[in-house]
Amino acid sequence: MLRRTLFAASLASVIFASPAMAQDAAPTEDPVLATVNGEDILESEVRATQAGLPQQYRQLPFEMLKPTLVDREINQRLLMMAGRDAGLADDEEVKARVEALERRVIAETYLDRQIAKASTEEAIKEQYEEFLKTNEPQPQVHARHILLENEDDAKAVIAELDDGADFAELAKEKSTGPSGPKGGDLGFFSAGDMVAPFADAAFAMEPGTYSKEPVQTQFGWHVIKVEEKKDGTQPTLEEVRPQLVAELTRKAIDDLVEDLRDDADIVNNAPMPEEAPAEETKE
């Protein structure tokens, strides 16, 4: 079943695998994994096939899929040879599709290489320095809360706390929020992580205290206890590396396409429709 599924999934997609993907996955040595009528099938070709498969197959170990992928590659090589013998190399439809594929592969390879130039380790470190300058660390609060459906229930919980009840136990017993089973523990959070009324109340409280009045948000009525406060810390380079690489990639693509379009003679017979003018609002 796996063999049939992979064959169907990759029969056409193998030729659309990005050249960069194939190069990244290629082994240092490129052994011959099979031979069909004297033509070698290299490991790099089989790895490129996997790179063109749906996500669930790309994530699997290559060695696990190798026998099935090689068998699939043998089948495709046989089909290609049969088509060539049938004269399809000179078929107009085949030529048109090869030309379309050539355009796509050249464009993707050029783009991949320009992105690689823009996403060097030096560029990533420079981007990180800019990130640190524009993202000041935010103070954080470690708090618990008990979420109730109405104000009277929240006031009743506060009365129990005033009488010495344990906050975490009350949260487990009475909170309607998902943190209830954990004693209402929300961990550390910054002000921007919570809705304004909740964050305003929590950051105004001292560690070890609980709210003397219920706090209302769109989720219900909260009784909050602040466990501790700390100064914010900035993420490490590795923690934000994916974000930085994505930003550099996006900028590289935007700049490249803009420069190419500025220098090109373009006649677009199917332009994007103009946005309709907004209707004036009558007073």
Give the pLDDT of residue 52.
86
Give the pLDDT of residue 25.
46
Q: Residue 117: which residues within 8 A CB-CB, separation 6 or more?
A: 252
* CA 235/CA 51 separation, integer angstroms: 32
The total of other beta-carbon atoms located within 10 Å of residue 103's CB is: 10
At the top level of CATH, the class of 140-230 is alpha beta
pTM comes to 0.58
The total of other beta-carbon atoms located within 10 Å of residue 24's CB is: 11
Q: What is the pLDDT of residues 90-144, one digit of tens each?
A: 999 999 999 999 999 999 999 999 999 999 999 999 999 999 999 888 899 999 9
Q: CA 111 from chain center: how many Å?
A: 20
What are the start-end ranges of the H helices in the chain?
2-10, 19-25, 43-51, 55-58, 62-85, 92-118, 121-134, 151-162, 167-174, 196-204, 237-262
pLDDT exceeds 80 at position 219: yes
Q: Among 22-26, 108-112, 192-196, where is mean pLDDT lowest?
A: 22-26
Percent of the chain residues topping a pLDDT of 70: 87
Q: What is the pLDDT of residues 64-77, one digit of tens each?
A: 999 999 999 999 99
Give the pLDDT of residue 28.
65
Give the pair of three-digit tokens for residue 267. Answer: 């006649």
Give the pLDDT of residue 273.
83
Cα angle 53, 54, 60; round to 5: 80
The domain limits of the chain are 2-90, 140-230
The total of other beta-carbon atoms located within 10 Å of residue 244's CB is: 19
pLDDT bracket for residue 277 (50, 70, 90):
low
Q: Are 156 and 258 in contact (CB under 8 A)?
A: no
Angle of the 167-174 helix axis to the 151-162 helix axis, nearest 10:
150
* CA 225/CA 185 separation, integer angstroms: 9
Residue 128's SS3 state is helix
pLDDT bracket for residue 27 (50, 70, 90):
low
